[in-house]
């Protein structure tokens, strides 16, 4: 696209900043805020802008979420009086092992620390991020929502120069329409990538600078979430329930969360590790089925579903964390992969990593440096509580990947007996896309039909995610090869993209000539990035659509 229009309309205009931050989530906004705070306290100026591809800050944010306020307190010691939307303190923790009909509650004294949530808050991360956005603007950060960073720009010496926003008004054929507006170049002394898990530019930077050298393969999960308004009689603000077990088989890593917010709202979701093997597995349908469990459905009967969404989650932990810096910038938040899988929490880590990177950036700027490596950031991370926390949690996901039985036992030993200080570190040996077994070695799974009250189909779900993309634009889900979807994905793996995509983007249809065809309904895309991760031959490449496209979550 870029190449077609640049000769015609280029060169693009550019704007200069000290720091450009790609992504207005908890990591990006915290970094922006920290930069401005440091500048204010030291009486200097620093120019910072944040690019957000969602139509507003928070539009693409989706998380459980239970938030550990530790990093928020470091960023804003007075967050309470500033009115941060951390209102519902966790009042009760339940961990349930589910079988098809029964639920067994784990005694709280046996729960490792990572599953204990006292002192934490049930939040809508979307609302927290909107609040952070307002704080950032007040401090003078320029926030550009509705603009996707589509391209990394490099200096002649190979260091990152900044990013370019995508062109607007390109039609389906890749040509400029009447309303065409070329992208802008944003040049920066340092560029921080904060796109979240499997960031589209982060992925390119990781490859270009070989940042995963000597690290384990990154591994991910998909989280699917619904927001409900339930019967007030069943509502218990601050109640936090996690489950493991049914409906997943014991070899598949995954589990659920169910958080009671205020105003009779409940956030419920399901997380499935993307290293799953059976191509017939559908995370979306596992989630729908999970809600029918007697211990779970009781909360939702008589309630109504308000919203829906999905997002891939970085779950590799410390072993899979890439090198964080490269000449001209850094990866922060889950663009690097700071989520603590054992606590299923990442927002505190995102905020902390953003602050650490911002400190390193500010110090470098003050020393009149630019476009070099911010070595102080990984060094500060190593010394931080975040490193300590991730170190303790490092074996959780690898143990759980060995199955629920042994996983639970070994996590118990690892966390309760050894307190995370085990003398071993388990490795992630395979990338998620390498894990699928051929369909003929796998058992098809028959999922129950949705009832439209408690369980739903994909399309009615996508509808309430407020997802929209400008219709006349090229599909942003690109294929390296046009033949691979049918010849390999459908032939060998029974078309897994139809099942792992939580938005019904991928459909195999039969053409008039009797040939199978992959149809891509790009307009449905929730920007979860699961296809980019799980596609067995890595043939699907997610790129940014026109800015402001995608979901518009109402506080997920």
CA distances from 526 to 170, 308, 310, 439, 487 (A): 21, 10, 7, 27, 26
Q: Which residues is 97 bridged to in the sheet? A: 104, 244
CA distances from 538 to 202, 474, 478, 488 (A): 16, 20, 11, 11
> Is residue 47 at the binding interface for other proteins, with CB under 8 A as the rule?
no
> Is residue 55 at the binding interface for other proteins, with CB under 8 A as the rule?
yes
Stretch of residues binding other proteins (CB under 8 A), selected from 21-29, 62-70, 429-437, 462-470: 462-470
Stretch of residues binding other proteins (CB under 8 A), selected from 152-160, 173-181, 278-286, 336-344: 173-181
> Is residue 463 at the binding interface for other proteins, with CB under 8 A as the rule?
yes
Under DSSP, the state recorded for 488 is: I
Tokens of 381: 């991370």
One residue of 74, 142, 251, 491 binding other proteins per CB under 8 A: 142
Q: Alpha-carbon distance 154 to 141, whole Å?
A: 24
Residues 432, 356, 80, 115: is their CA dihedral positive or negative?
positive
Distance from first CA to last CA of the chain, Å, rounded? 32
Given a contact cutoff of 8 angstroms between Cβ atoms, the answer to whether 193 and 330 are in contact is yes
> Is residue 20 at the binding interface for other proteins, with CB under 8 A as the rule?
no
Q: Alpha-carbon distance 433 to 496, whole Å?
A: 11
Q: How far is the CB of 63 from other proteins (least distance, A)?
A: 14
> Is residue 264 at the binding interface for other proteins, with CB under 8 A as the rule?
yes
Residue 403 or 554 having the CB closest to other proteins: 554
Residue 104 or 463 having the CB closest to other proteins: 463
One residue of 168, 176, 332, 439 binding other proteins per CB under 8 A: 168
Given a contact cutoff of 8 angstroms between Cβ atoms, the answer to whether 87 and 230 are in contact is no
One residue of 107, 178, 444, 513 binding other proteins per CB under 8 A: 178
Q: How far is the CB of 463 from other proteins (least distance, A)?
A: 6
Q: How far is the CB of 47 from other proteins (least distance, A)?
A: 11
Q: How far is the CB of 22 from other proteins (least distance, A)?
A: 14
Q: How far is the CB of 179 from other proteins (least distance, A)?
A: 6
Q: Alpha-carbon distance 5 to 382, whole Å?
A: 44
Residue 146 or 327 having the CB closest to other proteins: 146
Residue 488 or 552 having the CB closest to other proteins: 552
> Is residue 363 at the binding interface for other proteins, with CB under 8 A as the rule?
no
> Is residue 229 at the binding interface for other proteins, with CB under 8 A as the rule?
yes
Given a contact cutoff of 8 angstroms between Cβ atoms, the answer to whether 455 and 448 are in contact is yes
Tokens of 125: 């991360």
One residue of 95, 144, 253, 270 binding other proteins per CB under 8 A: 144
Please tell me whether residue 14 adopts helix, strand or coil conformation: strand
H helix intervals, 10-121: 26-41, 70-75
| Nearest to 545, CA basis, from 8, 54, 163 | 54
Q: Which residues is 492 bridged to in the sheet? A: none
Q: How far is the CB of 501 from other proteins (least distance, A)?
A: 20
Tokens of 224: 């699917």
Q: How far is the CB of 333 from other proteins (least distance, A)?
A: 22
Pick out residues in 91-130 that bind other proteins (CB under 8 A). Answer: 124, 126-127, 130
> Is residue 83 at the binding interface for other proteins, with CB under 8 A as the rule?
no
> Is residue 554 at the binding interface for other proteins, with CB under 8 A as the rule?
yes
Q: Alpha-carbon distance 107 to 411, whole Å?
A: 15
Residues making contact with other proteins (CB under 8 A): 13, 15, 55-56, 59, 124, 126-127, 130, 142, 144, 147, 165, 168-169, 178-179, 181, 184, 186, 229, 264, 306, 463-464, 466-468, 552, 554-555
């Amino acid at each position: 696209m870029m190449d077609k229009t640049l000769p015609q309309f280029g060169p693009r205009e550019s704007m200069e900043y000290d720091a450009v931050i790609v992504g207005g989530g908890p990591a990006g906004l915290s970094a922006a805020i920290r930069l401005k705070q440091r500048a204010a306290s030291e009486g200097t100026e620093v120019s910072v802008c944040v690019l957000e591809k969602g139509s507003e800050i928070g539009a693409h944010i989706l998380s459980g979420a239970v938030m550990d306020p530790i990093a928020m307190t470091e960023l804003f010691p007075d967050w309470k009086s500033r009115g941060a939307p951390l209102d519902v303190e966790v009042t009760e923790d339940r961990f349930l092992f589910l079988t098809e009909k029964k639920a067994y509650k784990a005694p709280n004294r046996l729960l490792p620390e990572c599953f204990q949530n006292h002192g934490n808050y049930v939040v809508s991360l979307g609302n927290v991020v909107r609040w952070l956005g307002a704080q950032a603007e007040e401090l003078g950060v320029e926030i550009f929502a509705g603009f996707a960073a589509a391209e990394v720009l490099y200096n002649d010496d190979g260091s990152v120069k900044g990013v370019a926003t995508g062109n607007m008004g390109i039609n389906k054929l890749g040509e400029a329409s009447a309303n065409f507006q070329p992208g802008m170049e944003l040049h920066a002394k340092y560029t921080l990538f904060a796109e979240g898990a499997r960031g589209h530019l982060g992925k390119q930077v990781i490859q270009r600078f070989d940042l995963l050298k000597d690290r384990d393969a990154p591994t991910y999960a998909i989280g699917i979430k619904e927001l409900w308004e339930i019967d007030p009689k069943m509502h218990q603000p601050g109640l936090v329930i996690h489950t493991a077990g049914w409906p997943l088989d014991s070899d598949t890593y995954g589990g659920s969360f169910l958080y009671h917010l205020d105003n009779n709202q409940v956030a419920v979701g399901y997380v499935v590790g993307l290293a799953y093997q059976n191509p017939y597995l559908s995370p979306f349908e596992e989630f729908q089925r999970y809600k029918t469990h007697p211990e779970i459905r009781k909360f939702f009967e008589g309630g109504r579903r308000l919203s829906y969404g999905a997002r891939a989650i970085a779950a590799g932990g410390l072993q899979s964390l890439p090198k964080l810096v490269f000449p001209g910038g850094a990866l922060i938040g889950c663009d690097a992969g700071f989520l603590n899988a054992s606590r299923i929490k990442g927002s505190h880590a995102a905020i902390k990593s953003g602050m650490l990177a911002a400190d390193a950036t500010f110090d470098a700027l003050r020393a009149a440096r630019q476009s070099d490596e911010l070595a102080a950031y990984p060094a500060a991370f190593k010394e931080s509580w975040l490193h300590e926390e991730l170190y303790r949690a490092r074996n959780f996901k690898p143990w759980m990947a060995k199955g629920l039985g042994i996983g639970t036992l070994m996590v118990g030993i690892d966390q309760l007996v050894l307190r995370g200080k085990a003398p071993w570190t388990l490795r992630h040996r395979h990338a998620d896309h390498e894990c699928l077994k051929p369909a003929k070695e796998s058992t098809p799974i028959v999922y129950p039909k949705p009832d439209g009250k408690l369980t739903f189909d994909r399309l009615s779900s996508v509808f309430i995610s407020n997802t929209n993309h400008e219709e006349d634009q090229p599909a942003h889900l690109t294929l390296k090869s046009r033949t691979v979807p049918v010849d390999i994905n459908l032939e060998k793996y029974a078309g897994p993209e139809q099942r792992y995509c939580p938005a019904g983007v991928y459909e195999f249809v039969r053409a008039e000539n009797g040939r199978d065809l992959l149809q891509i309904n790009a307009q449905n895309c929730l920007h979860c990035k699961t296809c980019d991760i799980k596609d067995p031959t890595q043939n699907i490449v997610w790129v940014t659509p026109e800015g402001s496209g995608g979901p518009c979550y109402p506080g997920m």
